[in-house]
Structure 1
């Protein structure tokens, strides 16, 4: 019988400071070279992700991860707590695509020249960098502990909110237009759709996919101002 992944634990929001209330964290704190911690942790996460996709989460062992990453088992706990911790870090990385120049901060749509530029980045990142993590999320969702699944759903809701704020920033729509939330949810769905349909989309270049979807979405948003109005507005008419 498979046990639930994870359990009750406290997490913070940035990956570098992502910690759990676990005695082993003291070993991580003793390493005073942040660049080394980031490099080794990335090695472990990348190796684990490959194995989770190849073998499944439950069939992958810490020994497997160490062998694939080239990091010995004695050092494993200097950088992560356990296998559950690795999974949580991978899920966090999925919901927080980083700007290369931002020290780990996720993109703010308003920081770019257009909403279409933000969507291109979001979709291309999902296809080129986040594909396996998104696939892993859907494969392991049924085995997650309730608090971990809640964390995933919370990150998903935060992404929807960030996208909705981007729509508000770039498009002159009324604040109570409930279609904004609907479109934001569609965008987040499309962001997951690409990796989940990867088997049938491999013939397309990542940039082409991202630009095509981004243009479709922005064209759709452009019709909101000329459409029939929000549900609330129609009820008042």
Structure 2
């Protein structure tokens, strides 16, 4: 059964615009102009970032050195700074590519489709997040403590805004007031559940992916709807 749509067109358009603007905000990458050949820059940065990602996930950000990245990527240590500024610059580029990737919809954007039930919306969100943002999720959760202060602030601001946008989308679906703080808690939990696949499914590898996906989606939808039931009683 579909949830009763309660959005008006103007509100949806405003929210859509706000989400669109939010998704264009990235972590600041260093501007490096010592090499003019753009195809070479792109190729070398891909080598460097690919090697760094595997090392960050294997050894951790703090334990990985530039020397390690050079050895894994095949880029000479004497020239690596022609393509990246430092290790933090590599992390910013990776998070922009993997955590903020634009081809994976956020849950607030998915919920703009009023024809989707909560179960269907959550299933679509978790499916895309668990499959397409797996490395980005692992990287973000493992590396946040090592990020520069300004990068943590930028990451926090973007994640907080996504959480608030999700609250905005859930409120009319559940017939709740947008200022109800429980919506923020549930919205934060939904985003946290998007990390379940990458961070916890190694413990239940004998269970089919579709079973895990449907179970989590159904449980999340039931929990969200329980807020509306509590409000009405």
Confirm or deny a common fold (TM above 0.5): yes
Where do residues 116-195 of structure 1 align in structure 2 (5 Å cutoff)?
Answer: 116-168=119-171, 170-195=173-198
Alpha-carbon contact 2:88-2:147 (below 8 Å) kept? no
Query: Which structure has greater helix proportion?
Result: 2
- How much has 1:95 moved relative to structure 2? 4.2
CA separation in 2, counterparts of 1:86 and 1:122? 27
Where do residues 1-237 of structure 1 align in structure 2 (5 Å cutoff)?
Answer: 14=24, 19-20=28-29, 22=30, 24-27=31-34, 30-32=36-38, 37=42, 41-69=45-73, 76-77=80-81, 79-93=83-97, 95-99=99-103, 108-112=109-113, 113-114=115-116, 115-168=118-171, 170-228=173-231
- How much has 1:129 moved relative to structure 2? 3.4
- The alignment's C-alpha RMSD in Å is 3.7
CA separation in 2, counterparts of 1:49 and 1:181? 32
The number of equivalent residue pairs is 209
CA separation in 2, counterparts of 1:152 and 1:90? 13
Name stretches of at least 5 consecutive residues in structure 1 with no aligned partner: 1-11
Q: For residues 83 and 213 of structure 1, do their structure 2 counterparts lie closer, same or farther at Cα, with a shift above 3 Å needed?
A: same
Q: What's the CA shift string for 1:163-210, capped at 9, x where partnerless?
A: 223323644333333322121011122223433324313333444323
Q: For residues 147 and 205 of structure 1, do their structure 2 counterparts lie closer, same or farther at Cα, with a shift above 3 Å needed?
A: farther
Q: For residues 19 and 148 of structure 1, do their structure 2 counterparts lie closer, same or farther at Cα, with a shift above 3 Å needed?
A: closer
Alpha-carbon contact 2:61-2:146 (below 8 Å) kept? no
Q: Please report the TM-score for the alignment, with normalisation by the length of structure 2.
A: 0.68
CA separation in 1, counterparts of 2:166 and 2:194? 11
Name stretches of at least 5 consecutive residues in structure 2 with no aligned partner: 1-21
Alpha-carbon contact 1:27-1:77 (below 8 Å) kept? no
CA separation in 1, counterparts of 2:226 and 2:159? 26
Comparing 45-54 and 110-119, the one that deviates more: 110-119
